[in-house]
């Protein structure tokens, strides 16, 4: 599994499509999953988060998460917890991934693994 | 040579971008494209102070709040544009309005500047890592700046992220 992360609107999905040979539509949706940071909030504990990471890594060749841990720490407790969980999920996914790429302004930065080009 | 410099608030991106512009602009005019609108006394004081600082470094200030493509440089030289985040807000919330028109204005504007100068340094902000739960049309701003950043990074010869005053190049090598 390849894990792709980066800020909002940084071009993560476009990069993933390119990585998978230019596929789009249902074929892309089968191979890749995105906005997984939003799934982390539904986990009650570390074990559930780990199970989520395992499930995503097993079912998809590319997993995409938006970085949400920057800026001001939210006042709302649930939002705080969701951000924290999103960060932890990203770490778990990165640990399972063969390659980790951070996309910044559309430019891929390799954080783990070997370059594909 | 076109260099795009990105960073968060207080990351040292401006100082680094100034250094880049100075080093590439020996023996030619240096222009500073200023984008901050003087809304109130605080803004005016800040602008005056920054102007004085730059004057010693030999920058000629050109003010541009919107419509960057309309800027004509008096003579070719080095340009420092600071910053794209300001310009994006001015375009999005300005009279012309709209994300699509704003994006075109930013991208065309930088293209036009580039065609007129020898070296161009554009400073932009990283604002996309704080989640998406924003009030009003802030998300439209994030989307606009994200799209502009992607378009410019694709065009740029060099692209770096500045963190704690240290630039890390993610595209090309440092121009100087």
The CATH number of whichever domain residue A17 belongs to comes to 3.40.50.300
Residue B176 is assigned to a structural domain of this protein = no
- Taking contacts as CB-CB distances below 8 angstroms, the residues of chain B near A70 are 8, 126, 129-130
Domain annotation covers residue A37: yes
Instruction: Report if residue A43 sits inside a domain.
Output: yes
Q: Residue A103 belongs to what H/E stretch?
A: strand A99-104
Question: In chain A, how many domains are there?
Answer: 1
Q: List the single residue in B with minimal CA-CA distance to A79.
A: B133
The pLDDT, as a whole number, for residue A109 is 95
Does A10 have pLDDT greater than 60?
yes
> What ipTM did this prediction achieve?
0.81
Partnered with residue B161 across adjacent β-strands are: B6, B168
Q: Is residue A44 part of a domain?
A: yes
Note whether residue A6 is domain-resident: yes
Residue A6 has pLDDT above 70, yes or no: yes
Average model confidence (pLDDT) for chain A? 94
The reported pLDDT for the residue numbered B19 is 92
Q: Is residue A117 part of a domain?
A: no
Q: What is the mean pLDDT of each run of 10 residues along chain B (176 residues)?
A: 93 92 90 90 81 81 94 95 94 87 97 96 94 86 96 98 93 96
- Total Cβ atoms within 10 A of residue B52: 9
What domain count does chain B have?
1
pLDDT digits (tens, 9 = 90+) for A14-44: 999 999 999 999 999 999 999 999 999 999 9
Among all chains, which residue has been given the structure tokens 């102070």?
Answer: B49
Domain membership flag for residue B131: yes
A98 CB near a chain B CB, below 8 Å?
Answer: no
Please choose, from the candidates B103, B102, B85, the residue with its C-alpha nearest in 3D space to the C-alpha of residue B93.
B102
What is the domain range of residue B114?
A: 2-171
Which pLDDT belongs to residue A116? 66
Under an 8 A CB cutoff, do A107 and B171 touch? yes
* CB contacts, 8 Å: A71 with chain B: 129-131
Task: Check if the beta carbon of residue B20 is closer than 8 Å to that of residue B121.
Answer: yes
- Give the CATH number of the domain where residue B92 resides: 3.40.50.300
A8·B154 Cβ contact <8 A: no
Q: Per the domain annotation, does A81 fall within a domain?
A: yes
C-alpha atoms less than 13 angstroms from C-alpha of B97 in its C-beta half-sphere: 3
For residue A82, the enclosing domain spans 2-112
> What is the pLDDT, as a whole number, of residue B43?
79
Residue B42's pLDDT is 83
């Amino acid at each position: 599994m390849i894990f792709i992360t980066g800020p909002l609107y940084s071009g993560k999905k476009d990069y993933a499509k390119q990585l998978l040979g230019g596929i789009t539509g249902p074929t892309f949706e089968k191979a890749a999953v995105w906005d997984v940071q939003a799934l982390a909030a539904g986990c009650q504990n570390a074990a559930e988060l780990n199970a989520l990471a395992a499930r995503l890594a097993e079912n998809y060749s590319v997993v995409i998460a938006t970085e949400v841990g920057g800026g001001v720490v939210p006042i709302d407790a649930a939002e705080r917890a969701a951000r924290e969980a999103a960060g932890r999920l990203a770490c778990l996914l990165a640990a399972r991934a063969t390659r980790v790429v951070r996309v910044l302004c559309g430019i891929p930065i390799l954080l783990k693994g070997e370059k594909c080009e | 040579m076109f260099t795009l410099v990105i960073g968060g608030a207080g990351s040292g991106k401006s100082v680094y971008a100034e250094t880049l512009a100075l080093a590439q602009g020996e023996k030619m005019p240096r222009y500073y494209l200023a984008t901050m609108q003087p809304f109130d006394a605080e803004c005016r004081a800040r602008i005056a102070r920054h102007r004085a600082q730059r004057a010693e470094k030999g920058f000629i200030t050109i003010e541009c709040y919107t419509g960057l493509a309309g800027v004509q440089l008096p003579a070719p030289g080095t340009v420092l544009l600071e910053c794209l985040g300001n310009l994006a807000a001015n375009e999005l919330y300005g009279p012309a309005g709209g994300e699509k028109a704003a994006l075109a204005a930013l991208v065309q504007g930088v293209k036009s500047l580039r065609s007129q100068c020898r070296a161009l340094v554009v400073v932009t902000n990283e604002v996309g890592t704080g989640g998406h739960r924003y009030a009003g049309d802030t998300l439209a701003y994030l989307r606009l700046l994200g799209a502009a950043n992607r378009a410019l990074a694709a065009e740029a010869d060099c692209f770096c992220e500045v963190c704690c005053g240290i630039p890390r190049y993610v595209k090309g090598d440092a121009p100087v």
